[in-house]
Chains A and B, each alone.
Chain A
Amino acid sequence: MSAARIDEATLRRSVMVASPLAVLLAWQVLSAARVFPPEVLVSPQAVLAAFGQLTASGELARHLGESLQRLLWGFSIGSGAGLLFGLAAALSPTFARLFDPLFQALRQVPVLAFIPLLILLFGIDEVFKIVIIAKAAFFPTALSTLDGVRGVPKAWFEVARIYRTPLPSLVWRVLIPATVPAVLSGVRLSLTRAWLVLVAAELIVADSGIGQMMEMGRQMFRLDVVMVGVVVCGVIGFALDRGFVLLQARLLRWRAQPAGAAA
């Protein structure tokens, strides 16, 4: 039984490694067989060469460093604000009613449309880019916090009322343990959104960053550089997401006992 399970785990891991490799191989075969002209489908070697070039010149590292720094700031500010907003909206019906329509409407407008206005308010330096990322990170966290807190079974609040549980311990002993999973999944979504929007925002306005590298690649008809950007974006985003999932597992393990105790 246990041997079979180990085998399955190994199989699973090897399949998960093999499938991207298979895609890579298919890409290589397609481009080597010249099914499409090289201007249309860049070969993996060309992408690798461009990658080597960008790494050797330090250009990639510089762009990536800038992007990650922006991500850190924008994500922290945005998801922090989202957490507070979600909590306030969940706990105070008046607050929710005041801001809900604005919140829902703003959420639905792509940040691209706001760029002139954002420039007006925040200038064109780093603050501007961080605000764009923060906007993207804000909504998923706010939404899932709201839902997480709202999704707590009614009975728990009734029990808390019967026992006259004070607000701080209601928050600490009941709300947090019950809502952390939902909130964290929202924060995870925020991280992904922040990363996606960061690159997108850099495509439009920036002097550096991985998005700008891709945009210049497009302007300069260097599709190998664009492809390097696509691959790097995917890999970095994947790593960020995986890292967050590991962190999440850790956090939830730590929270497991109080949650049980409170319930």
Chain B
Amino acid sequence: MTPRPFRVDRRTEEYPGAFTLHLTAIEQPAPAFSPGQFNMLYAFGAGEVAISMSGRPQQLEGTTVHTIRTRGLVTAALARLQEGEQLGVRGPFGNGWPLPEAKGRELLLIAGGLGLAPLRPVIYHLLHQPRPRAIPNFRLFYGARRPGEMLYGTELQAWSHEMPVITTVDHGDSAWSGEVGVITTPLKRADFDAHNAVAFLCGPEAMMRFSIQMLLERGMPASAIYISMERNMKCGTGLCGHCQWGPNFVCKNGPVFCFADVQNWLGIHAL
């Protein structure tokens, strides 16, 4: 559980306050990960923070990709890292998205804001499935605050040629030709069989709650809805208790949970 040194190979500015680090292991190869898992990134002298993997699951050995929003001291320190500089990495931790659950069913990926980052490895996985595809039908619903605050703009465009991509922003601008409104609106309108679909949600907790309300109204069972939770994770192994959420530790039992298992906890304020 000692952080291993990684080097920043490439740093990409996604939009002001959000950036992506492409990291390479200096000493030993980075272990493989499942989409949805996270690493603890250690900015020397500042501290550690849990950040989901956002690169390809089958990426080059020894590399890992993380998209980060600057929100506190540690992420601010990570934001200052330049290409060639080092940081510590522990992981991968947590469980991943339950892709086998979506076999033979339609998979709805519902992302809000930075929540697209933990779902990007799922999209890579889905697009690179051997044919015939085990999960043949999938689509992405992505909501963001403004067009300029959408992640992976070039990739979104490319994905839209290979899968349905429905984007919506809270506030459009004159250059925006997509939808304006909340993510629940395209969900309400979308043509899918709610009884034979699975949904993976990642984004701000309130956005996930409203999206779940809509999915339940559409008739999707709670057991077909999976969410990725965020809490104050410290050890990554369920020992320190910082991320306890009801009977669960988000770092160990999550961060991906089946809504049916946690719906009672999701409604409790300040938990």
Bind each other: no
The interface of chain B, by Cβ under 8 A from chain A, is none
The interface of chain A, by Cβ under 8 A from chain B, is none
